[in-house]
Amino acid sequence: MKFKNDPPKSVSVSISPSGVIVEGDSVTLNCISDSNPPALNFSWFKGGTIVGSGRIYNISKISSNDSGEYKCKSINEHGGKYSDNVTLNVMYPPRNVSVLISASGVIVEGDSVTLNCISDSNPPALNFTWFKGGTIVGSGRIYNISKISSDDSGEYKCKSINRHGGKYSRNVTLNVMYPPRSVSVLISGSGVIVEGDSVTLNCISDSNPPALNFSWFKGGTIVGSGRIFSISKISSDDSGEYKCKSINEHGEKYSDTVTLNVMYPPRNVSVLMSGSGVIVEGDSVTLNCISDSNPPALNFSWFKENETSAVGSGQSFSALQSGRFYCQAHNQHGSQRSDAVTVTVHHVAGGNVIVITAAFGGLFFIIIFILFIMKKQRNVKAEDLTVKENDLYSDASRRVSVHDKPLSDPDLANGALYASVKPKKIRGKPPESRDTEEIQYATVQHHKKTEMKRAEENECQYDDIRVHQPDAAVR
């Protein structure tokens, strides 16, 4: 068969291998043309760009970048002709995987946040897995967190998968902001705080971003600022309840209160005296030791001024003798003594007290006895009185003594008690009414017998009591 001499009539491209082309494969394009004379010149185009020449165009380790439309141009001496376009669709696993965060800027606790897994793959990935750290937390192209909390803070990544493979994205960090929480006060040192110590209070809080503003309160009063509150040479006035307030741009919170209980030795020690401090011998005055200390003093010692040995112990002390007394209060942190107080005891002889008591008792019985005699006299018959007139007249000028011998000085010293009763002269009254006259003399002597320790020594002793009435001539 003879061909006319004309340019190629039909030009086509064959691809080897046929079917799915995966990134990394080797691909051969063959330019087939019908021409007479046969074409000896071939050009290859991708899009509108020449990419090669020759009947065969070979691509080793094809990549996604080689995907596209190809054609060839067959040329002989009479002209040239293009083939139709053929498409190289290079399949490849996901690449350029990344995470897009829906929220822009600061993420605050309580916000809703969406994470989107972006990947380049052929065919497009349909399988996605989400990780926080090394733990799977979700699946799907979109991972949504509603009302995000600080617990959701951390590093996230996704894995994009198609039939040709999978690939992880880079990590993205969710930094969730939140106001202070879990605020507490840390006291430097441990154990007992003693007056004079240095104490540091540290305000601890959990917040994002970290709190930079702190206020300190004692009760309801602001006493300082800054994370650290220091008290040098602490005193009992610093005792009380403290708390701090932690603040950042998202909010604030108070800590719980902590108590500073400052210990100190006794001070302001004084003696409280019941009464004036002046007592009679035999009595006592109670002295109480008062002090201010923390913990309260439980140990007290009592001293008499200018004496080194203690005369008593306990918070109360009964003083029985004259002198100046002071107390000393102790606790585990020290001791302090009080000023001295004066106790005065007045001495009274024991015998005098008994005599005075007996005398008042005797006088009472004398009065009762005299009244009894007077009543008895009213019943004496008139004739009996007449018979006795002569005898009574002779004794009219004499006193009747209880004892024959006079009282000695010791008797007077022992408190002898005398009572004399003298009658009034009742003129112009008949003898029948003389029984109503008062007793002329009644002398009662009370003796205290010191040598006899008997109950009778306080009793009144009575001897002769004689009633005298003057005779008619004297009357």
Predicted local confidence at residue 370, as pLDDT: 74
In this predicted structure, the answer to whether residue 463 has a pLDDT above a threshold of 60 is: no
Residue 13's pLDDT is what?
95
Domain end position, chosen among 318, 346, 374:
346
Q: How far apart are CA 27 and CA 51, in angstroms?
A: 14
Q: How far is CA 467 from the centre of its chain?
A: 91
Q: Judge whether 354 lies within some domain.
A: yes
Residue 469 lies in a domain: no
Mean pLDDT of 95-100: 95
pLDDT digits (tens, 9 = 90+) for 209-245: 999 999 999 999 999 999 999 999 999 999 999 999 9
- If pLDDT is split at 50, 70 and 90, which confidence band does 363 have? low
DSSP E strand stretches across 37-175: 41-46, 49-53, 56-59, 68-76, 79-82, 86-88, 90-101, 107-108, 113-122, 127-132, 135-139, 142-145, 154-162, 165-168, 172-174
Average pLDDT in the 204-213 region? 96
239 and 146, same domain (yes or no): no
Q: Compute CA 116 distance to the chain's CA centroid, rounded to the nearest angstrom.
A: 52
Same domain for 128 and 222 = no
Domains: count for the chain: 5
Residue 15 makes CB contacts below 8 A (sequence gap 6+) with 21, 27, 28, 29, 30, 86, 88
Task: Tell which residue, 197, 204, 181, has the closest CA to residue 260.
Answer: 197
Whole-number pLDDT of residue 410: 39
At 293-330, the pLDDT tens digits run 999 999 999 999 988 899 999 999 988 888 899 999 99
**Going along 257-414, which residue ranges are E strands?**
258-260, 262-273, 278-280, 285-294, 299-304, 310-313, 316-319, 323-331, 334-337, 341-346
User: Has residue 263 got a pLDDT over 70?
Assistant: yes
Please check whether residues 116 and 142 belong to one and the same domain: yes
pLDDT tens for 370-422 read 776 666 666 544 444 343 444 434 443 443 333 444 444 434 334 433 333 34
Collapsed DSSP state (helix, strand, coil) of residue 150 = helix
Average pLDDT over residues 179-197: 90
Q: CATH number of the domain at 76, please.
A: 2.60.40.10
Q: Are residues 274 and 360 in the same domain?
A: no
Are 241 and 284 contained in the same domain?
Answer: no
pLDDT in tens, 146-178: 999 999 999 999 999 999 999 999 999 999 999
Range of the domain at 102: 92-174
Tell me if 465 is assigned to some domain. no
pLDDT at 366: 67
Side-chain half-sphere exposure of 249, counting CA atoms within 13 A: 6
Do 371 and 450 fall within a single domain?
yes
Answer with the one of 42, 59, 88 that is the final residue of a domain.
Answer: 88
Lowest mean pLDDT among 177-181, 182-186, 330-334, 415-419: 415-419
